[in-house]
Each structure stands twice: as structure tokens, then as C-alpha cells.
Amino acid sequence: MKSLIQAVVVAAALAAPVAVFAQSNAPLTRAQVRAELVQLEKAGYNPARGEDPSYPADIQAAEAKVAAQNGATSGYGGVVSGSSDAGRPAVSKADWNAMYDHP
């Protein structure tokens, strides 16, 4: 029983530093959020627009401009410069036939 208690204490002591570093980012203050919003507005984002069909693209573009101004070279998100062909087959019929035709 004594060794079980010691094991629990040791496990708790080893887990405590992990729990401390699990959330190293402090929550943003209202002033910090406001400052970020002002930066985004200066970069061209307008949050007052109602139903905006280009919502993800315009805020991502503004975030990319702000990141470039702040000198950030990596991070999450960003502007996507690709396209999507939903409903189109991934492999053409010629490629499909070439895969399964045996000479």
C-alpha cells in the first residue's frame, strides 16, 4: 500500500510540469483583440459587411497582409491559392483504362 501511494505521488509530480506547459498561451485581453481587429481592418477586411460570400478568402487575405507586415514567416492558416474540382473524377478514363489493361 505504501508503494502505491509513493507511485501516485511520483506520477503526480511528473505530470504537474506537463500540465503547466499544456496551456502556455495566456488568453488575449480585450485590448489585444481590438488591436488585431484594427490591423485587419487596415489590411482591407471589413467585418461590418453582412452576408459576405467571399468571407473566408477576404479575412485570410487580410491575415496574410498583417502577417507579412509583422514579419511572420509561418503559422496557421493563410491564403489558399488552389482550386477545387468537386464532382470531377480524380483519375481520367484513359488513366483508369491504362491501369487495368494488361498487354
Q: Examine the pLDDT at 31 and tell me if it is beyond 60.
A: yes
Mean pLDDT, residues 46-58 = 79
Report d(CA 26, CA 20) in Å as an integer: 12
Domain with 37, as residue range(s), is 29-71
Q: Examine the pLDDT at 19 and tell me if it is beyond 60.
A: no
Domain total in the chain: 1
Query: Does the residue 33 lie in any domain?
Result: yes
Packing angle between helix 55-70 and helix 30-42, nearest 10 degrees?
A: 100
**pTM to 2 decimal places:** 0.43
Tens-digit pLDDT profile for residues 65-103 = 988 888 765 556 556 666 666 666 667 777 777 777 776
Q: What stretch of H or E contains 4?
A: helix 2-22
Query: Does the residue 76 lie in any domain?
Result: no
Query: Does the residue 16 lie in any domain?
Result: no
Query: Does the residue 65 lie in any domain?
Result: yes
Query: Does the residue 52 lie in any domain?
Result: yes
Report d(CA 43, CA 65) in Å as an integer: 6
Query: Does the residue 99 lie in any domain?
Result: no
